Amino acid sequence: MVCGGFICTKNALSALNVLYIMVSLLLIGVAAWGKWFGLVSSISVVAAVIGVGVFLLLVALVGLCGALKHQQVLLFFYMMILFVVFVLQFSISCACLALNTDQQNQLLEVGWNKSEVTREDVEKTLNCCGFSSVNQSDSCPAQCFATPESCRSCAQILQEYAGQVLRFVGGIGLFFSFTEILGVWLTHKYRNLKDPRSNPGAFL
């Protein structure tokens, strides 16, 4: 069977969903590992990552079952969900790549003020205190706070890596968004192919 036929398209779509399953399990495993070893204490962050992993796992299972059984309803819903995810992920990835320094600082400050637990995690991990300045009257879990004069503000450290992280996240997001539009195209094509093992006069 030449590539582009029923079997080749089926195998390509199945392989793509196996990749999504592996990525989803990796996300769930990394989030659980980070929480277990105390690298991340924020329940909301861990729950969000696990939630994304579970959602991706469910979508991939729907796509895999639809591909293996050539089930039209499953393939249709899989294609629609994947297209919506593509639009959202592509938009977010482009936004990450387009943020300038001032916008990055505003985004960091919003995240800093939103969660006290996350703020303490950042201070402890990066050994810094405060966002824009070190306030000696506040408490800080960082080791440097024993001598506050030696502490740096967390904004200074975060700004050094914010651009790199956003470019990395944006690049990874763009890569997976193109695999998603590939999945949409493969699914649309696969739905309109006849199974050569079935009745030649039947359209499945």
The model's pLDDT over 46-68, given as tens digits with 9 standing for 90+, comes to 788 888 889 999 999 999 999 99
List of residues 6+ apart from 156 with CB closer than 8 A: 128
CA proximity to 63, closest of 26, 25, 9: 9
pTM: 0.72
Whether 36 shows a pLDDT value over 80: the answer reads no
Q: What's the mean per-residue pLDDT of the chain?
A: 82
Whether 182 shows a pLDDT value over 80: the answer reads yes
Structure-block tokens of residue 5: 């036929």
Instruction: Tell me which of 69 and 115 has the higher pLDDT.
Output: 69
DSSP assignments along 47-92, one per residue: HHHHHHHHHHHHHHHHHHHHHHHT-HHHHHHHHHHHHHHHHHHHHH
Whether 103 shows a pLDDT value over 60: the answer reads yes
Residue spans per domain, the chain: 1-132+143-192
